[in-house]
A and B are shown apart, each in its own frame.
Chain A
């Protein structure tokens, strides 16, 4: 058997070499699919890495509560894709935050409610600015520092606002003398009390770009928007030792508080790096789908070429069968050819994908994320494509009648 496998491999190599252009174009189809998949996986990986690093900065004593379930990534992906805007579906409320704050061994609880609104200063007006509603505990949890002024405090949290670094520049063309000025959010006037330091990271586990956001008290936000949706509740524990205990305590308290509604999840440690943002998941999901479609198209290309190859080599099949090849031998011969075509394509695709990822890393904050996992996924995908799209032509070749095939001429 091993001898035959070697022979199949040799034959496949010869057949691919014989039709160089044809094989190259077929490989290209697979390569494009694999390139896009490895590019997407590499970028997703790099984003997770960024968030992971951030968690490291914050410290490992962080827990987060998110609406719906993050346990099963496939189900949650489907949920995210099927709901038009999951911001609207969040079932976490301000009273939940209060309930959580009563759990033992935690030091701070801060809700994250994100919405986009039109914001204007006396000079400029911007539509769709990220407005983050939270409470005073927020600054205890986040590793943010203030460039100027102060964060929201007990005495001034009503109708006060802390601006992101870039947003401050955009609204007032300055950072330093912004404090004390007023901005208008949906017709309500807010006073600027502080400006954040530049963060230079567009991605965080809160799914907020702090440079371009402004932070207000959640009650104030509730007043102007009518209904506030809390996407996430950040919790800081006293220490890192009993996170699982605290996590289950929070879960129990919250379930009790919400009368049995369990559409939320508590995550800590590595689990937080799971991309929380629905938008992020939706976009990467869509890209993956598109890549998968292109991979299927590439697979159809392999099938097409293999069918041509089988038709061209009918006579050869007849001869091989006459001198003792079994149907299985013929099947393996053609399956190997399809497999080598797709694996070759997969290899080129991986190289292409990473080249693109490196090029992209020059102009974006991403750093290409190379892992054995991605290589293994690409390899297995191409293997599967090769088998799925190679089996039909191979079966067709194997089922040829030797007597009829021998009469067949090119």
Chain B
């Protein structure tokens, strides 16, 4: 790979290009930050109303007791998923296309978990008691119910957040040191000096760093599988027709990677354009991500079909009704939207030129994001709308409070991303350098290096 890269850019160019992103921002950045913060305020306002007047402010109602908030939760956990996949799993597999995108993916992971983590708290009726889900010693000798998937969720998400945050921060250290060396203002100097924890770039530094990084990568890899499997158990452990299926863990993991890669595309394409990172993030990287999307889209499509097959084969009237209801019932628009976004639209990537067509990829990534939101909608809403007792079937009335909180969450995520790209290197300087030819006095020798 990277024939052209080798010839065109050297170590200095990488430093220049990446660290240029940290230069004092222009009006565009401020506008973006303003929009994000404004959305956060809207979301917070809506949540305040919900806290003051009760959960009734949200559209959730009997029998659909989980609604937009849990959909958002699963959606953001799914987004959070691919970061670790790209950074840890692909690191272990030495997949070189990860280098320019993994930092952004990791940041995305951490911020998406931070977003996802808000939703269980927003969702519960008495959030001031949400800490009861944590096992902590107390004089009442009351423990959480370890049989409940929601308690597993608490563990899975908090572990995932801790590990991915540590992994992310550790990976940043050498790059922060590079930024520190170039920092001009006092504030930045202080920030980078502290966060680079005295990195000097010595051999001993590197030796410990690489060992540690490998360890974290190995540690994070099982979490890629576990976190979304556990989230899927929130549903699979329930007895609701449409939820109670053993296929859920792999299906959710594949879906999460699918949505995560799409989200990386959604973020990286504008970034590449704004900061002119065309040299670093190259068509072959997009091609590799497209292939990942093709694979996961295939798995997701297969899972959908399996669900229908299982419902038919089981001869269980409740399951059968549920899977009749999804494509033909009240929420059929969501089902067909999902099928289009997740199954049909990604098929376009089988056409090779489209895999490197940035515009196409950007639009497709948005479509996939919508599709994956709809997938969670389908699982949660339609299943709960048609359970066992027909007299208790019901629908849903969306409320503006839910909408406000949902866009507030996007604002929250965007706010962290916006701040991040201006304060820390969003593209991994050191790792890009790793895949570049070592600079030699004789450029010819460099060409023969591989």
Say if A and B assemble together.
Answer: no
A residues whose Cβ falls under 8 Å from a Cβ of B: none
Residues of B at under 8 Å CB distance from A?
none
